[in-house]
């Protein structure tokens, strides 16, 4: 048996661990390049230039809402879609209800489609910025304030914003 074989075999798990560790930053780079897994941006309302509102065109924004299994909540947008002008600030409302008699905690994760629109979709206020805690059977309306940058491509006529709430309860 060759004496270098055990060393080569021991190197394989180390390389596998290193590859697994590097997957998260590699995935983020891949998403940035391809526009997949559209992550939205965050912007301060004071940073928005109202002179850049493009009133010559509209984009349809559709709103979707989901909850992961195991989270006893119902979650829905109060409006299914809206017509917006790029560069202008808008507000949409989502309603969340706890269907459990116990206190529960959740975190909303956003996604924008098409992915190329994500870099132009910025939020000034969003319930997704923090974990949400609901008491038993509590209902809450949560605002989302957003702007779609006026530099968005003319080819994009529709954007879908989807949120999924995941349980943040321990155990």
Which pLDDT does position 144 carry in this prediction? 96
Per residue in 65-97, pLDDT tens? 999 988 999 999 999 999 999 999 999 999 999
Per residue in 14-62, pLDDT tens? 778 777 767 667 666 655 555 555 555 555 555 666 668 999 999 999 9
Residue that the structure tokens 């270098």 belong to = 4
CA distance 116 to 23: 22
Q: What is the mean pLDDT of the chain?
A: 85
Q: Which pLDDT band holds residue 118 (cuts at 50, 70, 90)?
A: confident
Which pLDDT does position 18 carry in this prediction? 75
Domains of the chain: 1-34 (no CATH), 41-167 (2.60.370.10)
- Which pTM does this prediction carry? 0.74
Residue 155, Cβ density class (10 Å: 0-12 exposed, 13-18 middle, ≥19 buried) = exposed
Cβ pair 114, 156 in contact under 8 A:
yes
The tokens of 122 are what? Answer: 């910025």
Q: How many CB atoms lie within 10 A of CB 45?
A: 10
């Amino acid at each position: 048996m060759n004496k270098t074989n055990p060393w080569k075999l021991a190197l394989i798990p180390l390389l596998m661990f290193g590859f697994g560790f590097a997957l998260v930053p590699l995935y983020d780079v891949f998403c940035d390049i391809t526009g997949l897994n559209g992550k939205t941006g965050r912007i301060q309302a004071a940073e928005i230039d109202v002179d850049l509102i493009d009133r010559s065109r509209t984009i349809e924004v559709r709103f979707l809402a989901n909850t992961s299994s195991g989270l006893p909540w119902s979650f829905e947008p109060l409006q299914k879609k809206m017509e917006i002008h790029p560069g202008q600030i808008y507000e949409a409302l989502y309603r969340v209800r706890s269907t459990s008699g116990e206190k529960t905690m959740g975190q909303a994760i956003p996604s924008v489609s098409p992915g190329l629109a994500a870099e132009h979709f910025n939020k000034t206020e969003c319930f997704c910025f923090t974990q949400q805690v609901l008491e038993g059977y509590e209902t809450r309306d949560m605002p989302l304030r957003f702007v779609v940058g006026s530099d968005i491509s003319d080819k994009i006529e529709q954007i879908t914003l989807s949120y999924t709430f995941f349980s943040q309860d321990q155990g």
